[in-house]
Chain A
């Protein structure tokens, strides 16, 4: 999205790092990239060593170099943040991984315990890579034709080039991972019979619909909309007025994609205000630059139909009131309803989990599967991660789940033996 640092700019930027004794950036990074060491290697011209550190800490480093919301992590923790500006660590990751391609070892697995990984998104990839590094044979089951999950199918085209994912995946060939694509797992129970441990990271893909009449018939799924641009020519929005109901980063991706595909207008409606909007600042600015208009404090109440076609969306303003909870509560304001013209209304207000496992994982709500601190579910030997267990929703957080689960699985088997 932003331009690539030049070699001399990267060199100077790396030299700004103070080499703090306790590296708050590393602590803030979910996968704990040793950032001062990385920068020390970069600034002395050891790009190979720099990429080695990055790729060891994060198997999705090329992808993260492009899309990691560093403002939540390293950049926020940098001691220079309020002094002269944080070190642009993500851009330096991106610079290193774009310019180099280090030789990476290949090996055959040498341990006997077999591991199944369900889902090949960031969490699954990360868990598989870590376990393969420990020598376990890993079988990945992916329902889609190619691995990557969210990264491959559900991000706005101009926000994330898939070649970065493919570069990350190229480092995972020939290390004991078996890739089973086009393969939906129907029974966790039978998988448990054939494998010694399972990492369950299928993501969340059940659209949540806004509470308005006929929503399930008339509304377009945000995830399906995004996917159409990755798998086909994309949903035709040329000349259409598009409304996106949402507020999170997915809704921004949908809106940006619609704007880029030739929509006449794109309006994003969100029930709370700009401060409450759970998006990364960088993404919002980008969407607004692409012509996306955001109507805050607005809820949909129904469709305006003409000849069985959507002509508009009825909207109602809300005001935000304190009600003792963490977030302000939207309260509808009567008498100010208005109609936004619309040819296409897309929902992107969140996703639920499928929850159709044949093993009781002790679900508590519709969205997030409970796991403990080592990512183990209520069922021993079944671990879980990614969007299925957390609302954090970043690639690097999912990668950290995979790493944590892999460490726990490894510990489990080694402790078994001793």
Chain B
């Protein structure tokens, strides 16, 4: 199996993208997350062939579990002429039970001995969790991820609540799983939809898990058809809440991962809203050790792995980093509590040579800032007396680098 960048640039240009995670060697940091793309043997093969470092098969459960899917299950959020800046799903766990998944694990592990072949599980009773773990272990799985956070059809303490919304339940069930797994690495996949994600991460660690997957889709109502007033996705005249994924949730994931990395010593697998190599670097920089991806694949296909590896390689080369792990946590020292931030005097500075005279900064400052930018003809002029340095104007300016906030 050739690394994607080798195909294009030749071996001399190769950058080592490999990462180590829980004792497992990955050829690159990109893993297919437990989702539709890994719910079919043929598709999983295609993904691994395309260059993904591993796959976590879609969440399975014991044979007695009923999985009753409802269609259509997907919905999209469009914005400013761009489709699917957010994607919603009302999918459930796999319709394939453990008997099928253990077979697939064995097949895939034989075909792809160098790749990460992992399974995701969900159960209710202690016996279920533990039997799932034992059967997968016997099948040769490299790692087990426990879904404590599927927002739809959850199996937590209360109907409609997720397991990972209770620290006590999280710690208890983690303990059951780890007891059965013994030396097999265990990841707990949590939800961002909690009051204090650090508390949940501590419970995961205390329960004995090897790592944490942060995080998952965000509970959402994707939109309302204002003709029929039926929300999307529409199943006749009814709908329900979806799990929101895609570019729009990246900032939530960054915050979730950063919070855990800053306060709990536990390896993190990053998941949620990574669409390209740039997003992935950001997530690695706040403490993720690898990146799980689903929505970008569902939108653009397995081939996005080529762009991910190419972009990441070229970034590492440009920054003169030798390996992916050089990026790990690079942003964390730069995150502080608000009280600890420096108090500085900054002012808006507009580069006249770049300004195209649209006056959008003027309107934004006038109506949403501090009325500090006036127009003289087509030129915006900053009144330093009025400018408090809020930093709104460079955000609305359509020209990159035209407005900067400078310390005075």
What are the interface flags for A59-95 relative to B under an 8 Å C-beta threshold, 1 for contact and 0 otherwise? 0000000000000000000011001000000000000
Chain A residues closer than 8 Å to B362, beta-carbon distance: 21
Let me know if B81 and A43 touch, CB within 8 A: yes
Chain A residues closer than 8 Å to B378, beta-carbon distance: 22
Let me know if A12 and B357 touch, CB within 8 A: no
C-alpha gap A18/B363 in the complex (Å): 11
Chain B residues closer than 8 Å to A15, beta-carbon distance: 80-81
What are the interface flags for A19-30 relative to B under an 8 Å C-beta threshold, 1 for contact and 0 otherwise? 111100000000
What are the interface flags for B303-319 relative to A under an 8 Å C-beta threshold, 1 for contact and 0 otherwise? 00000000000000000
Interface size in chain A (residues, C-beta < 8 A):
14
C-alpha gap A19/B82 in the complex (Å): 19
Let me know if A18 and B81 touch, CB within 8 A: no
Chain B interface category by residue count: 10 to 19
Let me know if B363 and A21 touch, CB within 8 A: yes
Let me know if A12 and B81 touch, CB within 8 A: yes
The residue in chain A whose Cβ has the minimal distance to the Cβ of B83 is A8
| Nearest CB of B to A38, in Å | 16
Let me know if B81 and A11 touch, CB within 8 A: yes
C-alpha gap A43/B79 in the complex (Å): 10
Let me know if B81 and A19 touch, CB within 8 A: no
Choice from B80, B82, B360, B375 contacting A18 with Cβ under 8 Å: B360
Chain B residues closer than 8 Å to A21, beta-carbon distance: 358-360, 362-363, 375
Given contacts A21-B375, A22-B375, contact A79 B81 (CB under 8 A): no
Let me know if A79 and B358 touch, CB within 8 A: yes
Let me know if B80 and A79 touch, CB within 8 A: no
Cβ of B298 within 8 Å of any chain A Cβ, yes or no, is no
The residue in chain B whose Cβ has the minimal distance to the Cβ of A20 is B358
Chain B residues closer than 8 Å to A83, beta-carbon distance: 356, 398-399
| Nearest CB of B to A12, in Å | 4
The interface residues of chain A, by DSSP majority, are classed as loop
What are the interface flags for B355-378 relative to A under an 8 Å C-beta threshold, 1 for contact and 0 otherwise? 011111011000000000001001
The interface residues of chain B, by DSSP majority, are classed as loop
Let me know if A19 and B360 touch, CB within 8 A: yes
Let me know if A79 and B357 touch, CB within 8 A: yes
| Nearest CB of B to A8, in Å | 7
The B288-335 residues at the A interface (CB cut-off 8 A) are none
| Nearest CB of A to B212, in Å | 39
Let me know if B80 and A19 touch, CB within 8 A: no
| Nearest CB of B to A46, in Å | 12
Let me know if A80 and B359 touch, CB within 8 A: no
Let me know if B359 and A20 touch, CB within 8 A: yes
Let me know if A79 and B356 touch, CB within 8 A: yes
The A228-279 residues at the B interface (CB cut-off 8 A) are none
The B66-84 residues at the A interface (CB cut-off 8 A) are 80-82
Chain B residues closer than 8 Å to A11, beta-carbon distance: 81
Chain A residues closer than 8 Å to B358, beta-carbon distance: 18-21, 79
Chain A residues closer than 8 Å to B82, beta-carbon distance: 12
What are the interface flags for A37-51 relative to B under an 8 Å C-beta threshold, 1 for contact and 0 otherwise? 000000100000000
| Nearest CB of B to A92, in Å | 13
Chain A residues closer than 8 Å to B363, beta-carbon distance: 19, 21
The B254-295 residues at the A interface (CB cut-off 8 A) are none
Chain A residues closer than 8 Å to B80, beta-carbon distance: 15, 43
Chain B residues closer than 8 Å to A12, beta-carbon distance: 81-82
Chain A residues closer than 8 Å to B359, beta-carbon distance: 20-22
The residue in chain B whose Cβ has the minimal distance to the Cβ of A84 is B398
The residue in chain A whose Cβ has the minimal distance to the Cβ of B78 is A11
C-alpha gap A239/B357 in the complex (Å): 54
| Nearest CB of A to B300, in Å | 18
C-alpha gap A20/B358 in the complex (Å): 5
Chain B residues closer than 8 Å to A20, beta-carbon distance: 357-360
The residue in chain A whose Cβ has the minimal distance to the Cβ of B366 is A21
| Nearest CB of B to A6, in Å | 12
The residue in chain A whose Cβ has the minimal distance to the Cβ of B397 is A18
| Nearest CB of B to A20, in Å | 4
| Nearest CB of B to A74, in Å | 15
C-alpha gap A230/B363 in the complex (Å): 50
Choice from A14, A18, A43 contacting B398 with Cβ under 8 Å: A18
The B337-396 residues at the A interface (CB cut-off 8 A) are 356-360, 362-363, 375, 378
| Nearest CB of A to B394, in Å | 15
C-alpha gap A21/B366 in the complex (Å): 11
A–B complex contacts, Cβ < 8 Å, 24 sampled: A8-B81, A11-B81, A12-B81, A12-B82, A14-B81, A15-B81, A18-B358, A18-B360, A18-B398, A19-B360, A19-B363, A20-B357, A20-B358, A20-B359, A20-B360, A21-B358, A21-B359, A21-B375, A22-B378, A43-B81, A79-B357, A80-B356, A83-B356, A83-B398
Having A21-B375, A79-B357, A83-B356, one finds 4 other A-B pairs with CB under 8 Å, namely A12-B81, A14-B81, A20-B358, A20-B360
Closest 8 CB pairs of A and B: A21-B359, A12-B81, A20-B358, A15-B81, A18-B358, A15-B80, A11-B81, A21-B363
